[in-house]
Chains A and B, each alone.
Chain A
Amino acid sequence: MNIAVCIKQVPDTETKIKISDDKKSIVESDINFILNPYDEFGVEEALKLTDPENITIISLGPDRVTSAIRSALAMGAKNAIHIKTDSTPADPGITADALASVLKEGNYDLIFTGKQAIDDDHAQMASLLAEKMDIPAVNVVIKLNVENGTVMAEREIEGAHEIFECATPCIISAQRGLNEPRYASLKGIMGAKKVKIEEKDVTLSESNLEVVEYNYPAEKAAGKIVGDSADAVPELLRLLNEEAKVI
């Protein structure tokens, strides 16, 4: 079984995000970049399903994304494609067009994405790829079973789970709970350095999403400490009832 795992490089969740002076981009110089946490579930699931030789890590972005590709390779995958661009496109539609064109060449039985990239938080890629490649996709998957070309995927929805059955090839977006991603071993990290990352140039399609400006969220005014013991409870409930009017 041939598997592709789409991965994105994103700022570490602890990173303080700084907006540039023209308010249209993020200052990248101080950012610690990591492999998108949801994409780790995709890499792990691929390793559980097939031989590492049959797994290809794919990422679109500027040169810096190769470090995220290496992190994914260090978990065990043996092939990688870097789709080179000057920057990460703001419009996920563009990324999807480029990824779809590369994915179509690969004859993959399964394609993993994360349920969401934690930088732009679009949560669109699996659905976009499904339409562009005309194959099924199941989003936010927490349980997966693949047997003889039949895929059973359980996805999380509000208060319940939906179970889908479809045939390969298909796309799965991974959610926390799907598995426990392994830590890269020293051997894995050394091995990853030896993998030759195939580079691809693409012509990006036209952007339909324009950033007008980035702003920081409004600072919240300091809250009120109602008290330092359980005796503050009646006053808290009164405030919630009369001032906030939420209970």
Chain B
Amino acid sequence: MVFAEHKDGKLRKIAFENVSLAKKLGIDFECAVIGNDVDAEELGKYGAEKVVHYKSDKLGNYSPDGYAKLLADAMDKQGADVLLLGATSMGKDLAPRVASRLNAAMATDCTQVELDGNNLKIVRPMYAGKVQATINLSSAKKVVTIRPNVYAADENGTSATVESVASDVDFKTVVKEIVAGAQGKLDVTEADIVVSGGRGLKGPENWHLIEDLASALGAANGASRAAVDAGWRPHDEQVGQTGKTVAPSLYVAVGISGAIQHLAGMSSSKYIVAINKDPEAPIFKVADYGIVADLFDVVPRMIEEIKAKQ
């Protein structure tokens, strides 16, 4: 079963990625959507054939125990063996709960899942990516969260049948209120391109360089811990071992040295660009492309050239 997460009624990319993964594994699956106003049919485009859409006025906001109960029941009713979720804020909160209810073993933030006979071969990073662990879940039921942006969302399906089910699940805890961060701000974990700045920016007054480059590229803003600790940026932008783990198509590191704790959060990005004036900076060891020069010359030029092309 694929849990298809949505945000404000819009299905998230990870839901499509997980449908594509399930399809690639060649297993029978159905999707579960929870919440009222969601266009669940969209999952069909990615190859889902059956979607069960659980509706309830009470479950408009996320409820950890309510969602867990509902999904565990759905797994039982379907006789499903495997539950795929995204390693998102909600997925990470929810998955261990469902696993516990089903007596299932679980694996967090997986970067590779393959079918090995009747079993799943799962690879997940540990020790902040210093180790790749291949693991086997031996319980009858298994719960797996997949790192966003690792599997592609392939539009190779047509349409799905959506069955609506009125849910009357009861629960103890529910989100009381959601306070938005900066309006419409793209989160680093969700973005296809991330532009991050570090201590090399010298101060918050220069951050417009990062913001303008990010906006020219349609990217999210990230930061090193040095920039966060200095109070230049909010900590929800921090990338790294004690920040967020990102795997975008393109990661641009500006004025970031590439300390091991920073690399831990971004080294699985598909392409990495480093702009740093120190040719010895460790960031160049993981970068696909680099410019060794002063960022205050390079970044304005990048913004200008990108804008000129648009």
Residues of chain A touching chain B, judged by Cβ–Cβ distance below 8 Å, are 11, 13-14, 16-17, 19, 26, 37-38, 90-93, 96, 118-125, 127-128, 130-132, 136-140, 142, 154-166, 176-177, 207-217, 220, 222-230, 232-234, 236-237, 239-240, 244, 246-247
Contacts and interface: CB of A to CB of B under 8 A. Distances in A.
Contacts of A159: 180-181, 185-187, 190, 236
A40 to B, nearest CB: 11
B205 interface: no
B134 A215 contact: yes
Contact of A226 (B121, B132, B289, B301): B289
Q: How large is the interface on B (under 10, 10 to 19, 20 to 34, 35 or more residues)?
A: 35 or more
Interface stretch (B44-52, B152-160, B270-278): B270-278
Contacts of B187: 158-159
A141 to B, nearest CB: 11
Interface stretch (B26-34, B35-43, B77-85, B95-103): B95-103
Contacts of B254: none
A121 B128 contact: yes
Contacts of A227: 291-293
B99 A93 contact: yes
B242 A137 contact: no
Given A118-B242, A177-B235, A236-B273, A160 B291 contact: no
Contacts of A210: 135-138
A156 B249 contact: no
B92 interface: yes
B97 A130 contact: yes
Interface string B212-254: 0000010000000000000000011010011100000110000
B288 A127 contact: no
Contacts of A225: 279, 284, 290-292
A157 B94 contact: no
Contacts of B101: 131
A224 B185 CA distance: 32
B127 A127 contact: no
Contact of B138 (A140, A154, A208): A208
Contacts of B89: 139-140, 155-158
Contacts of A208: 104-105, 137-139
A156 B236 contact: yes
A198 B178 CA distance: 41
Contacts of B186: 159
Of the candidates B134, B217, B284, the one having the most CB atoms from chain A within 10 angstroms of its own CB is: B134
Contacts of B138: 207-210
Interface string B258-290: 001100100100111110000100001111111
Contacts of A220: 267, 285-286
B127 A17 contact: yes
B60 interface: no
A230 B301 contact: yes
A136 B173 contact: yes
27 contacts: A13-B241, A17-B131, A119-B127, A124-B106, A128-B96, A130-B65, A136-B64, A138-B173, A157-B89, A159-B186, A166-B172, A176-B235, A207-B138, A208-B139, A209-B107, A211-B134, A217-B130, A217-B131, A222-B285, A223-B284, A223-B287, A225-B292, A226-B289, A230-B294, A233-B302, A244-B250, A246-B250
